Amino acid sequence: MGITIREPGEGDFFSWLALYEDYAAFYGRQLTDQGALLVWSWLTDAAHSERGLVAVDDEGALVGLVHFHDVPRPLEGDRALHIDDLFVLEEHREQGYGRTLIEAVAGLGAGSGIRVVQWLAKPEDSDARGFYDEIADASEVVVYRLRPQDA
């Protein structure tokens, strides 16, 4: 089994969209057409900060994706790559696709002098957390989101 990781191309839109819809459904979120088109426009615009990679199986089918962006770390005086979305189709999990996607992000970072790759995980997602614990250290930081003023 060979795992190919590459940037998404224009001909990948519908395959990428199917993956991204599955990702949204996995998290109980509704992906709108407008939202999907916006994210796709980011991924295909070399000037945009959001970047993406896709995992391709031996038959050429897209089976995974990762979206990420560069973030400054002022106290450390450096930058990190923050993974926003990571998803592999269920039937392709535990075959190295997720690890290879994360390693590809790390490789891109290293090529730009960025040594830190970080992401968030839901505490109750024990399958993902088990995998992440094999390759990364959990942070002790709690993420807060300001409540909207109209709430």
In a domain, 140, yes or no: no
pLDDT at 114 over 90: yes
Which residue range is the domain that position 88 belongs to?
A: 4-135
CA angle 117, 107, 143 (to 5 degrees): 10
Indicate whether 141 belongs to any domain: no
Cα dihedral across residues 29, 32, 38, 40: positive or negative? positive
In a domain, 145, yes or no: no
Q: Which CATH number covers residue 25?
A: 3.40.630.30
Does 66 fall in a domain?
Answer: yes
Q: Locate tokens 């031996």: which residue?
A: 58
Q: Identify whether 98 is part of a domain.
A: yes
Structural domain total, the chain = 1
142 within a domain of the structure (yes/no): no
130-147 residue pLDDT tens: 999 999 999 988 888 899
Per-residue pLDDT band for 78 (boundaries 50, 70, 90) equals: very high
